[in-house]
Amino acid sequence: MSTQSIRPVKVKRKYTRSSPGSVLYQSGDTIVLCTASIEDGVPPWLAGSGKGWVTAEYNMLPHSTNRRKRRDRDGKVDGRTTEIQRLIGRSLRAVVDLERLGERMVTVDCDVLQADGGTRTASITGGFLALADALYPEFRKTPPAEHPLRDSIAAISVGIVNGKPTLDLDYEKDFAAAVDMNVVMTGKGQFVEIQGTGEEATFDDDELAALIKLAKAGIKQLTKIQQESLGKQWPLA
Amino acid sequence: MSTQSIRPVKVKRKYTRSSPGSVLYQSGDTIVLCTASIEDGVPPWLAGSGKGWVTAEYNMLPHSTNRRKRRDRDGKVDGRTTEIQRLIGRSLRAVVDLERLGERMVTVDCDVLQADGGTRTASITGGFLALADALYPEFRKTPPAEHPLRDSIAAISVGIVNGKPTLDLDYEKDFAAAVDMNVVMTGKGQFVEIQGTGEEATFDDDELAALIKLAKAGIKQLTKIQQESLGKQWPLA
Amino acid sequence: MSTQSIRPVKVKRKYTRSSPGSVLYQSGDTIVLCTASIEDGVPPWLAGSGKGWVTAEYNMLPHSTNRRKRRDRDGKVDGRTTEIQRLIGRSLRAVVDLERLGERMVTVDCDVLQADGGTRTASITGGFLALADALYPEFRKTPPAEHPLRDSIAAISVGIVNGKPTLDLDYEKDFAAAVDMNVVMTGKGQFVEIQGTGEEATFDDDELAALIKLAKAGIKQLTKIQQESLGKQWPLA
Amino acid sequence: MSTQSIRPVKVKRKYTRSSPGSVLYQSGDTIVLCTASIEDGVPPWLAGSGKGWVTAEYNMLPHSTNRRKRRDRDGKVDGRTTEIQRLIGRSLRAVVDLERLGERMVTVDCDVLQADGGTRTASITGGFLALADALYPEFRKTPPAEHPLRDSIAAISVGIVNGKPTLDLDYEKDFAAAVDMNVVMTGKGQFVEIQGTGEEATFDDDELAALIKLAKAGIKQLTKIQQESLGKQWPLA
Amino acid sequence: MSTQSIRPVKVKRKYTRSSPGSVLYQSGDTIVLCTASIEDGVPPWLAGSGKGWVTAEYNMLPHSTNRRKRRDRDGKVDGRTTEIQRLIGRSLRAVVDLERLGERMVTVDCDVLQADGGTRTASITGGFLALADALYPEFRKTPPAEHPLRDSIAAISVGIVNGKPTLDLDYEKDFAAAVDMNVVMTGKGQFVEIQGTGEEATFDDDELAALIKLAKAGIKQLTKIQQESLGKQWPLA
Amino acid sequence: MSTQSIRPVKVKRKYTRSSPGSVLYQSGDTIVLCTASIEDGVPPWLAGSGKGWVTAEYNMLPHSTNRRKRRDRDGKVDGRTTEIQRLIGRSLRAVVDLERLGERMVTVDCDVLQADGGTRTASITGGFLALADALYPEFRKTPPAEHPLRDSIAAISVGIVNGKPTLDLDYEKDFAAAVDMNVVMTGKGQFVEIQGTGEEATFDDDELAALIKLAKAGIKQLTKIQQESLGKQWPLA
């Protein structure tokens, strides 16, 4: 498979009826159920500020991997999970104007049904769709300039696999990657997060530049898919 | 809707590819993803016994209900969850010959994607299908008389709603029920579990008899659905 | 020992002085200390409702069994304990009119000093006595029609042991039972809970009927013992 | 009541049958159930050393106090409980020759049924009796010089109440005490522990001397009671 | 080294700038960082009483001992830690007039950077200095008779090592001690705490007297060091 | 203060004697005690692989910040701490050849005594020194080509503050930064980690380039400081 193209993406919006935003997001063999709800009120440290909050939780279902993964039920959410859900929340907040949101709390749950690499980036890209759907009923008549959503957001992984800059790593490529980078960007092409890690390896300026370029191309395609999926809802006219 | 018939059931087997048994089981608006895997080895207290074990975990996704439910991440699985997953495990074990299973461990995960009443009975009925699929590769050539599966198993809820014995309670009926009973039976029509509870109410012998009769009729239909779904795999010839 | 009679019961009321209801309840070699207290106020979800609440906790002392049982101190109350204390609470609430109780909270603690089977049913039967004693001072002048206690409640186990329906299982019989059923009934003979389980076994309609009949006979005797123990306090005139 | 005498003591040995040492120890209105068992094997850090271990757990039943005390079930045993059970264990070990005990583990559980001050000292004094009973079957033929028990042990509280040195504080006196001291001594009159605390107060040399003298007198009486209770079992001939 | 003298003490006040009281206290090779802060408000059980509170936390850094000690991060603070921090808090409160403190909460943290015996007594002696510094800004103009500090407090360990009463035990001596005693006294020479323990050993009246005498001499020296360190701040004129 | 230069750095090696690597690392007003030890054996998942492991723990002392921070004692290490200690561990491992290390486990503890921004980068830079010291005794005679340390490692933060790329953010600058980036590089100038985050902001290609350039300059200075501090020990000849 090409190292320069993203994996096929499938999006099912309104997957379940119990939450206002419910998106089954599939990228290759990675499947994430992203659901979002909105409720009045905010965490204690924001009460009275007039600002809202967006938070995310990330979870892999036990059988999402070939070897069953234990549930996080013993009061110790593992470090990887914590990092990922903090990243998802931060990324989604980057395109939300919390003051326009008002004292409301949006919770986006990303439950991985099947994992084949790129679950955190799929959670961000799919999570944005669930977020947009959850906000839609309440803000459908809000003019774009006052709408809490300022932009769309999407994410992709890139890495150096067998010495070659590679886009959208599945599990196998991720495992083989010497350098692994997750890039989060807005629909308008601004960076929100760059997290690059040498896995028992290092990288230089040229490699950094190549990875960034590849990621930008991937995000562009994802942004288009998000746009088509949301249809008339997006972009805010 | 009738008080004497079961809700429409949809079954998608092989829903995900990462576990050998993966069944999306839908009963009315209740949707449960039942996945099962089998691994060598048993819990310490069975080691060396030659017997296997079947266990189940039950979980509601946060957005499976209209009001988002917190994840069980603080080390305190709530009492209801504990009771339900013990019930599912016990029910599935009732049709498994643990000695024929040998020192293998089957884990059945029941993750509720959408909850509209009857999630525990859906988990048992759908969980049996996942169990059967997980066992299939390893035992496909085992003659029925030596096969670990001795029978099929299914479950249904019944209750007294507005004074009337009622089959297969959805959330609204369950909420209104004065008496609530879950019945687990084998395909051959033997009881495995009866759990009847007066919810701030009581019941007498006649009501007990009516509920039991209704449950038996419901289980019969579910057994047929299971049989059709498994096709040539079931019954063991 | 007969399979049709209950084990000898001893009741010591006012066993300790530190709680208003304090009953040492002994059934055969099973000894449970049931204590109850009443305090003003209710859990948050009932505040302002005008209704009270009754809750129960169940605990086996470490040396109540032949092999010392670890205390539930690591933040994980085991599943069996959780199920049992939920059952006890639900059973006791079945005979309490929570509105007449008013915004009061009754807590019934059932601490098993010695376990020889039937600890959960002994906890219900003895717990009712502790509950009655705890309510007595506050409601002694309340006319029966306005008294929070509507009926008495008792529980017994039945099972199929060596193919034979058997009443009031001690540890040895319980261990040997193919089917195990706990029945909770009011003094007036209404069912509150039926929990029947095939332990790696199943049962049919006839066996169900035989077990129910046996349980009703046992509960009748327990109800009489409760009545005699409470003396003039019961029944509410 | 006198400030110079101990409260009346009642001892019931063999209170339950499920543990080899089972003593209901009552001092005034304080009632502690002390049970002890012995099992083969030791904690990992003693394995292979040839030495045994004695450990204690202390617990107040929820209704042992006038205001119900929550159970230690959330994984946080409170600091007071921890201190007390460490004290009990250390005190009992002071009279046990761990090498003669061999690789055995004795666990002494002290469950307070009713608390009226002095529960920790009652646990030590009663716990010794349970320990002696638990060791008896295994060591009944062991000559005294090789017996794991080297001496008896007992404990008493003293304090300065209303400016006056006072023996064996009940709850009310303990509450009023400016200085509170627990003294643990062997039957032969040696100190094992002295824990004296000024409760928002201090004390001088003379007060210290008076408290020590009083404690010694109290321990002497308790030692005699222990001796009478154990009868022919003690002292080791 | 002498058995009758204390180890060399070094005190660095204002060690860090982020807390008002910050003292690096070194006694021999034992180094404790004692920091204290004061904030408005008190724990719930004191709210509205007009009284303040002083609490302490004790912690050994993982590499403070030769064999790295695990952090207390699993929700189980070990028993020894709990006992020590309760002792430190109680000792400091003994010289604080909580009513004069008013509804303020002082927290003293004692983090052991290097442990060579006597960490709890160093924490008390150094903790007093941090406490004094934390109170200074708020009460510098308060006349002594109304100042919350009524006296200074210090602590020292004594023990019987190789049969000989010994002052200020380092790790090696502590390990070898048959009897181990911690004594906490005020600057004016009153006892606050005496905790003497026979470590698998016992002690008699003469030994008790010798230990107490030695401790008093040690505390006297520590009190002088505290006084010199605080300079003009102490004693309150 | 300049936006283009690093804060003054002070290094005290061999700060405590209880661990082989013990470095007090100060950068501006941020003070971190980095200690490291090495022990035989590895975590279970590496046993028998012939490879070693390097892990890190990060902790802020309660009084390291102006407002006292609660200890992580309730079994919930917060998400930020988890992320940081994973980053430190990963960064240090990037310069260690785990096969040459052999089945040994190095633990680096980074305890923040005073926090004024950049605690995670200080932990990496200072942690490397502690790591080098901990490895020194065991590998002092190992030729460079076989030595487990392949390079040095250091880290610095950069950000966009008031629209201007800025080096080495203290707390105040970090708080004001629209974009915040941590860069980890080896002494030879290879990237190991880049973590850039828009804090409710985004950044473009030019800003990314400016930040990277600034970070490289900062790391170069830190590498020189590390070299001077280690003296003859580094670089490996």
Residue B131 sits in a domain of what CATH number? 3.30.230.70
Minimum Cα–Cα distance from B178: chain C residue: C192
Order across the sheet with D104-114: list the strands: D9-13, D21-27, D30-40, D104-114, D53-60
Residue B160 counted as domain residue: yes
Please name the residue that has the structure tokens 């379940």.
A16
- Pick from A83, A203, A208: CB nearest F86: A83
| Residue B48 Rama label (left phi>0; alpha psi -120 to 50; beta) | left
Q: What single-letter amino acid sits at E173?
A: K
Q: Are D226 and D125 in contact (CB under 8 A)?
A: yes
Residue-level pLDDT at E2: 65
Q: Where are the alpha helices (H) located in chain C, listed in sequence order? A: 79-93, 98-101, 119-139, 171-176, 205-230
CA distance F170 to F31: 12
Q: Are F197 and F179 in contact (CB under 8 A)?
A: yes
CA distance F65 to C25: 56
Residue F81 sits at the vertex; the CA angle it makes with F79 and F84, to the nearest 5 degrees, is: 110
Q: Phi and psi of C181, rounded to 5°? A: -135, 135
Contacts of residue C161, Cβ cutoff 8 Å, sequence gap at least 6: C3, C169, C173, C176, C177, C178
Q: Residue D91 class from Cβ within 10 Å (0-12 exposed, 13-18 middle, 19+ buried)?
A: buried
Q: Are B102 and B50 in contact (CB under 8 A)?
A: yes
Quote the minimal CA–CA distance from B198 to chain C in Å.
5
CA distance A212 to A190: 12
Residues 65-94 of A with CB under 8 A from F: 75-76, 79, 82-83, 85-86, 90, 93-94
Residue-level pLDDT at D215: 97
Residue-level pLDDT at B4: 82
> C37 and D63: CB-CB below 8 Å?
yes
The DSSP H or E segment spanning E137 is helix E119-139
Q: At what angle are helices C119-139 and C205-230 packed, to 10 degrees?
A: 40
| DSSP 3-state of D180 | strand
Q: Is D50 annotated as a binding residue?
A: no
F interface test, pick of A45, A158, A202, A211 with most F CB neighbours within 10 Å: A202
Split into its structural domains, chain B has a count of 1
> Token digits for C222?
């327990």
Q: Are A235 and A227 in contact (CB under 8 A)?
A: yes
E178 touches chain D (CB under 8 A): no
How many C-beta neighbours within 10 Å does residue D68 have? 21
Please name the residue that has the structure tokens 């994992």.
A115
Mean pLDDT of C88-110: 97
Q: Is C197 annotated as a binding residue?
A: no
Q: Are C193 and B196 in contact (CB under 8 A)?
A: yes
Please name the residue that has the structure tokens 């716990």.
D127
Quote the minimal CA–CA distance from E12 to chain D in Å.
29
> C61 and D33: CB-CB below 8 Å?
yes
Mean pLDDT of E75-87: 88
Residue C237 counted as domain residue: no
Which residue(s) pair with C96 in the sheet? C149
| DSSP 3-state of E54 | strand
Q: Phi and psi of B9, rounded to 5°? A: -115, 135
Q: Is D118 annotated as a binding residue?
A: yes
Q: Which of B179, B131, B180, B183 lies closest to B155 in space, CA to CA?
A: B183
CA distance B114 to E23: 58
> Token digits for B10?
């949809």
Contacts of residue D32, Cβ cutoff 8 Å, sequence gap at least 6: D24, D25, D26, D110, D111, D112, D113, D119, D122, D123, D126
State pLDDT tens for residues B101-121: 999 999 999 999 999 999 999
Contacts of residue F137, Cβ cutoff 8 Å, sequence gap at least 6: F20
Residue-level pLDDT at E97: 96
Minimum Cα–Cα distance from D18: chain C residue: C66
| DSSP letter, residue E106 | E
Pairing of strands E30-40, E104-114: antiparallel
CA distance F118 to F112: 11
D40 touches chain C (CB under 8 A): no
Residue-level pLDDT at A236: 80
Residue-level pLDDT at D76: 73
Q: How far is CA B28 from CA B31, B122, C46, in A?
A: 8, 10, 32
Contacts of residue F112, Cβ cutoff 8 Å, sequence gap at least 6: F30, F31, F32, F33, F58, F59, F60, F61, F64, F119, F123
CA distance B199 to C94: 7
Q: For residue E41, what are the domain limits?
A: 9-231
- Rg value, chain D, Cα: 18
Per-10-residue mean pLDDT, chain A, length 237: 85 95 97 97 92 97 93 79 95 96 97 97 98 95 94 97 96 94 97 92 94 97 97 85
Q: Per the omega criterion (within 30 degrees of 0), is the bond before D165 cis?
A: no
Binning pLDDT at 50, 70 and 90, where does residue D2 land?
Answer: low
On the CB side of D151, CA atoms within 13 Å amount to 20
Residue-level pLDDT at F3: 76
Q: E124-141: string of b/e by CB count within 10 Å (b at 16+)?
A: bbbbbbbbbbbbbeebee
* Residue numbers belonging to the annotated binding site of B for phosphate: 80, 118-120
> Token digits for D165?
């040195």
Residue-level pLDDT at A237: 64
Residue-level pLDDT at D203: 95
CA distance C84 to C23: 19
Binning pLDDT at 50, 70 and 90, where does residue D73 land?
Answer: confident
Residue C154 counted as domain residue: yes
Which residue(s) pair with D156 in the sheet? D183
Give how far the C-alpha of residue F86 lies from the chain's centroid of Cα atoms, to the nearest Å. 11
Residue E204 counted as domain residue: yes
A29 touches chain B (CB under 8 A): yes
Q: Say what the ipTM of the complex is.
A: 0.91
CA distance C184 to C122: 11
CA distance C108 to D194: 38
Q: Where are the alpha helices (H) located in chain A, listed in sequence order? A: 79-93, 98-101, 119-139, 171-176, 205-230
| Residue E117 Rama label (left phi>0; alpha psi -120 to 50; beta) | left
> Token digits for B17?
């590819």
CA distance C81 to C67: 17
Residue E144 sits at the vertex; the CA angle it makes with E141 and E145, to the nearest 5 degrees, is: 120
Pairing of strands E53-60, E104-114: parallel
Mean pLDDT of chain B: 94
B31 touches chain A (CB under 8 A): yes
State pLDDT tens for residues B143-161: 999 999 999 999 999 999 9
How many C-beta neighbours within 10 Å does residue F232 have? 5
A196 touches chain F (CB under 8 A): yes
Residue F4 counted as domain residue: no
Q: Phi and psi of E205, rounded to 5°? A: -60, -40
State pLDDT tens for residues B168-205: 999 999 999 999 999 999 999 999 999 999 977 899 99
Residue B1 counted as domain residue: no
| Residue E87 Rama label (left phi>0; alpha psi -120 to 50; beta) | alpha
> Token digits for E200?
């698998």
> A113 and B16: CB-CB below 8 Å?
yes
Per-10-residue mean pLDDT, chain F, length 237: 85 95 97 97 92 97 93 79 95 96 97 97 98 95 94 97 96 94 97 92 94 97 97 85
Q: Which residues of C touch D35 (CB under 8 A)?
A: 61-63
State pLDDT tens for residues F71-93: 887 767 888 999 999 999 999 99
Q: Which residues of C touch D63 (CB under 8 A)?
A: 16, 18-19, 22, 35-37, 109
- Pick from C19, C29, C114: CB nearest D63: C19
State pLDDT tens for residues B59-89: 999 999 989 998 887 767 888 999 999 999 9
Minimum Cα–Cα distance from F189: chain A residue: A204
| Least confident stretch, B74-88, B217-231, C210-224 | B74-88
Mean pLDDT of chain D: 94
> Token digits for A213?
């370029």
Q: Which of C56, C156, C142 lies closest to C102 in space, CA to CA?
A: C142
Q: Which residues of E touch D76 (CB under 8 A)?
A: 75
F interface test, pick of E24, E54, E63, E111 with most F CB neighbours within 10 Å: E63
Residue-level pLDDT at A79: 84
Q: Which residues of B touch C98 (CB under 8 A)?
A: 200
CA distance C232 to C184: 24
Residue D237 counted as domain residue: no
Q: Are C106 and C35 in contact (CB under 8 A)?
A: no
Residue-level pLDDT at F237: 64
| DSSP letter, residue D106 | E
Residue A166 counted as domain residue: yes
